[in-house]
């Protein structure tokens, strides 16, 4: 490891709408933020072709372009955006304490405040055909992309509350929704199951899994297999939605911050404060309910304001002691 230690007032870990919004607000507050983007600069939106539901873009915008523009806006106010991966952290327990971070196993940083915006990663089935057609009809967010399949036939994979909710959402805008549930029953709550069962254009297939996603450039159908009988069936669809869950990118923070049973960082009340003073979390890393770009941006703003107020309190206390 390098011996030199860099001291930073505000360190932002992760990019995407949450991280970049936090950077914009922190930079305008003269906190001189430094951002490390992680392995996927721009986050999940860099794999999204069209963003149609973010305010301010009447014609829509593609995800990568939007992230570039957010980065440029953050940099315009003085944010240092660096490519790099935080590999370990040591958060102080003390109010006003200094947090220690290592980047790429070599760069040592000490930060007065830290904003975590590492996001969450959607779980996929792992099929080569599925990965090839991501952005070509395969999506992990029905609320984000369902509109593009208005009046068409689509399929959704999953049996939990999220899958049931997204399936019924799609049923309102699509012609037909085929829902594939791996087991003989859904994991969703009874209320959600009843809603699915009472939706006429929603066809639930139990003991069913995806064998292959069909199509070269775009999704043209799915070949599903009954995991009890081995029988295969081709269903023509133009969109496939994967709703089998998300994994928050919080592994390096385990043992440092309070998390729920699935690894999402717990924040206090309506704030972005974590269990450690001076450490804040925003976006999908602490939000498993909404998972939208606009809500991530909102909490990014909140985290910068929380960090600014935290620093003001620390500086005020130091002046009193002096």
Residue percentage of the chain with pLDDT more than 70: 96
pLDDT (tens digit, 9 = 90+) per residue, 258-285? 999 999 999 999 999 999 999 999 999 9
Residues 140 and 288 reside in one and the same domain:
no
Residues 29 and 111 in one domain: yes
What mean pLDDT is predicted for residues 99-128?
95
Average of per-residue pLDDT across 36-40 = 84
- For the chain, the average pLDDT equals 92
pLDDT in tens, 218-234: 999 999 999 999 999 99
Model pLDDT, residue 47: 62
pLDDT band at 2 (very low <50, low <70, confident <90, very high): very low
Reading the block at residue 61, the tokens are 């915008």
Average pLDDT over residues 88-112: 95
Q: Are residues 212 and 134 in the same domain?
A: yes
Q: How many CB atoms lie within 10 A of CB 114?
A: 25
Q: Which comes out higher in pLDDT, residue 64 or 26?
A: 26
Annotated catalytic, 145? yes
**pLDDT at residue 133 greater than cutoff 90:** yes
Among residues 30, 52, 90, 144, the one annotated as catalytic is 144
Structure tokens at 109: 């940083």
Asked whether residue 1 carries a pLDDT value surpassing 50, the answer given is no
Tell me: pLDDT of 46 over 90. no
Say if residues 154 and 283 touch (Cβ distance below 8 Å).
no
Burial class (CB in 10 A: 0-12, 13-18, 19+), 3: exposed
Stronger pLDDT, 46 or 229, i.e. the higher one: 229
Of the pLDDT bands very low, low, confident and very high (cuts 50, 70, 90), residue 169 is: very high
Same domain, 278 and 301: yes
Domain with residue 234: its CATH number is: 3.50.50.60
Q: Report pLDDT for 317.
A: 76
Residue 48 to residue 226: CA distance in whole angstroms: 31
Region 145-160 average pLDDT: 95
| pLDDT per position as a tens digit, 198-215 | 999 999 999 999 999 999
What mean pLDDT do residues 166-194 have?
A: 94
| pLDDT of 253 above 50 | yes
Q: What is the DSSP letter of 11?
A: E
Give pLDDT, residue 20. Answer: 97
Nearest to 199 by CA among 209, 188, 207, 208: 188
pLDDT, average across residues 101-106: 94
229 and 253 co-located in one domain? no
pLDDT at site 291: 83
Beta bridge partners of 103: 86, 107
CA distance 170 to 98: 47
> Is 144 assigned a catalytic role?
yes
Domain that holds residue 312: 5-121+246-321
Instruction: Say if residue 288 is in the same domain as residue 199.
Output: no
- Note whether 117 and 128 are same-domain residues: no
Into how many domains does the chain fold? 2
Residues 169 and 30 in one domain: no
- Of the three residues 213, 242, 271, the one that is the final residue of a domain is 242
Q: How far apart are CA 175 and CA 153, in angstroms?
A: 5
Radius of gyration over every alpha carbon of the chain, rounded to an integer in angstroms: 22
Read off the pLDDT band of 122 (50, 70, 90).
confident
The string of pLDDT tens digits covering residues 52-77 is: 888 999 998 888 899 999 999 999 99
Sheet strand arrangement including 239-242 = 138-139, 239-242, 153-157, 176-181, 202-206
% of the chain beyond a pLDDT of 90: 80
pLDDT of residue 84 exceeding 90: yes
**In the block, which residue shows the tokens 């999704």?**
219
**112 vs 315 pLDDT, higher one:** 112
Q: Do residues 52 and 129 both lie within one domain?
A: no
Residues 179 and 211 reside in one and the same domain: yes
**Least confident residue range of 40-44, 194-198, 228-232:** 40-44
Residue 319 confidence (pLDDT) above 70: no
pLDDT given at position 315: 83
pLDDT higher than 80, residue 88? yes
Same-domain check for residues 267 and 158 = no
């Amino acid at each position: 490891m390098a011996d030199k230690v860099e001291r930073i007032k505000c360190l932002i870990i992760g990019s995407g709408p949450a991280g970049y919004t936090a950077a914009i607000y922190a930079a305008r507050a003269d906190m001189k933020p430094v951002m490390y983007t992680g392995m996927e600069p721009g986050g999940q939106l860099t794999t999204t072709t069209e963003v149609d539901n973010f305010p301010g873009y009447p014609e829509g915008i593609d995800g990568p372009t939007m992230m570039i523009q957010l980065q440029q806006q953050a940099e315009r106010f003085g944010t240092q955006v660096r490519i790099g991966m935080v590999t370990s952290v040591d958060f102080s327990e003390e109010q006003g304490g200094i947090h220690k971070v290592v980047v790429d196993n070599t760069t040592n940083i000490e930060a007065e405040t830290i904003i975590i915006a590492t996001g969450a990663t959607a779980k996929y089935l792992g099929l080569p055909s599925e990965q090839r057609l991501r952005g070509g009809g395969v999506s992990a967010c029905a609320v984000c992309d369902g509109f593009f399949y208005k009046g068409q036939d689509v399929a959704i994979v999953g049996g939990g509350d999220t899958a049931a909710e997204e399936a019924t959402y799609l049923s309102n805008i699509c012609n037909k929704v085929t829902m594939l549930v791996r087991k003989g029953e859904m994991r969703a709550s009874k209320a959600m199951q009843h809603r699915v069962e009472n939706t006429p254009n929603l066809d639930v297939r139990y003991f069913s899994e995806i064998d292959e996603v069909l199509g070269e450039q775009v999704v043209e159908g799915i070949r599903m297999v009954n995991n009890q009988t081995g029988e295969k069936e081709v269903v023509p669809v133009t969109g496939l939605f994967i709703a089998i869950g998300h994994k928050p990118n919080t592994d390096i923070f385990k043992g440092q911050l309070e998390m729920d049973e699935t690894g999402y960082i717990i924040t206090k009340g309506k704030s972005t404060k974590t269990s450690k003073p001076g450490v804040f979390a925003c976006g999908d890393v602490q939000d498993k309910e909404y998972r939208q770009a606009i809500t991530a941006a909102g909490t990014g703003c909140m985290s910068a304001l929380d960090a600014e107020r935290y620093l003001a309190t620390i500086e005020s206390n130091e002046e009193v002691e002096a």
